[in-house]
Amino acid sequence: MKTGPSEPLHLPEYLPALDGLRGVAVLMVIAYHSLTVLRSASLGALFQVGWAGVDLFFVLSGFLITRILVQTRERGGYFRTFYARRALRIWPLYYLLLLFAFGVMGWLLPALAFDPQRYPWPRYALYLQNLGMTEFGPALLNVTWSLAIEEQFYLVWPLLVYFLRNGQLRVLLWTCVLLSPVARLAALWEGVTPLQVYTFTLFRLDGLALGGLLALGVVDGRATVDGLARWGGRLAVPALLVALGLSFAFFGEGAAIHMATALTGAGGPWGRALLVAGLYSLWALGFASLLGWVLSGRASLLQGVLQWRPLRFVGQVSYGLYLFHALVIPAGGYYTRPLFYRYIPSTFVATGLGILFEYAVLLALTVVSWRCFERPLLRLKDRFTHTDASEKAVAPTA
């Protein structure tokens, strides 16, 4: 159905292009964790900003979760349905991998063994591993800080959406957007480490909030096709290019934005602290603008790329890819890649072939998990649906 340029945006429940955006996000993270080992011809520099894929995930999560919550808060089973469906999506694979990490990983893969006293399992089981982090942690667990942020967001945000009106939510979200870089800067000035700024929930709210603002606009009709196309087209490319350029220039190899070395070098500690504080917001703004542009339906070339079937499939299985790559790539570095080095004279070729082998293992493991474990469990989500009866005496309005 065609929409006039000034009409509100009406979206279907399922948006294939968003699977493509998830695919882009997870590929960025995997490239960051694997391809930066390619030193020859500075190829690794092409992927050194892949950490920003997590920021794309946050924007997508803020949009999708807020849209679901606002659309269903007047219906029966609001809390039960939301939390049950989220638990079915996140918990089974996560806790299965925790069982593997704290149970048999050290025995099967001794090079990846870790001290459970240093990394106590209750912190991970309760999604508290991102609080006061001093290091990312052992293999398989070192990417789960972002899941902790998501779970903490899921714990609080449904309550706020339920009790606040749309106008109040909008004020709260804009406050998060504006205060997040201020909070990061203040924290860095007070001696909080770049890693803690990178992984602590209250310092990473701007991406979630910008996604939430976009969702509110879509649900209450304030977001129009023309408006999203205009602002998305104007902001997305410039914001992302500037964020990319600043990330390359100041937070490249050896000075990633979450490292202590992020605050040393060109610009001085205060100038670099300003960059660290603001760069997350710039990435989030770029990704939110990109999302709005895609939602408008006017970015035809981009939509064609995002709806490419292989990329959409990568997005559909992105959760498994995200978790499994934290195991497969380190294991490959210890066990399989040395075999390529032994038998192939060129280090560059051996590294490339070793990484390709790890990708094949990662894809196979993810597909098996998706088809045999995750997807069957996801079918249980149909048992948790909203009812037509309202749980609220008065429905909130904008």
Each residue's pLDDT, cut to its tens digit, for the chain (398 residues) gives: 344 455 667 788 889 999 999 999 999 999 999 987 775 545 667 788 899 999 999 999 999 999 999 999 999 999 999 999 999 999 999 999 999 999 999 999 999 999 999 999 999 999 999 998 999 999 999 999 999 999 999 999 999 999 999 999 999 999 999 999 999 999 999 999 999 999 999 999 999 999 999 999 999 989 899 999 999 999 999 999 999 999 988 987 677 899 989 998 888 889 999 999 999 999 999 999 999 999 999 998 999 999 999 999 999 999 999 999 999 999 999 999 999 999 999 888 899 899 999 999 999 999 999 999 999 999 999 898 887 656 564 444 44
> Which residue spans within 82-177 are E strands per DSSP?
none
DSSP code of 66? H
Could you tell me if residue 53 is inside a domain? yes
The count of other CB atoms within 10 Å of the CB of residue 18 is 20
Could you tell me if residue 397 is inside a domain? no
CA 74 to chain centre: 28
Map residue 52 onto helix, strand or coil.
Answer: helix
| CA dist., res. 150 & res. 140, Å (int) | 17
Beta bridge partner(s), residue 387: 76
Helix 268-296 × helix 225-250 angle, to 10°: 150
Q: What angle do CA 220, 68, 60 make, to 5 degrees?
A: 95
Could you tell me if residue 103 is inside a domain? yes
Nearest to 236 by CA among 277, 175, 284, 202: 284
User: Tokens for 282?
Assistant: 């710039």
Q: pTM for the whole thing?
A: 0.94
pLDDT for the residue 11: 84
Could you tell me if residue 1 is inside a domain? no
Phi then psi for 8, rounded to 5 degrees? -60, 155
| CA dist., res. 316 & res. 294, Å (int) | 18
Are the C-beta atoms of residues 52 and 80 closer than 8 Å to each other?
A: no
Q: Domain count for the chain, please give it.
A: 1
How many H helices and E strands in the chain?
A: 17, 0
pLDDT for the residue 283: 98
DSSP 169-199: HHHHHHHHHHHHHHHHHHHHHTT--HHHHHH
Nearest to 267 by CA among 259, 255, 257, 275: 275
| CA dist., res. 251 & res. 275, Å (int) | 10
DSSP code of 156? H
Could you tell me if residue 230 is inside a domain? yes
Beta bridge partner(s), residue 39: none
Residues whose CB falls within 8 Å of the CB of residue 4, separated by 6 or more in sequence, listed in order: 225
The count of other CB atoms within 10 Å of the CB of residue 324 is 22
Could you tell me if residue 167 is inside a domain? yes
Are the C-beta atoms of residues 371 and 320 closer than 8 Å to each other?
A: no
Could you tell me if residue 4 is inside a domain? no
Q: 253-275 b/e with 16+ CB inside 10 Å = b?
A: eebbbbeeebbeeeeeeeebbbb
Domain residues for 112? 16-383
Nearest to 176 by CA among 340, 347, 90, 59: 59
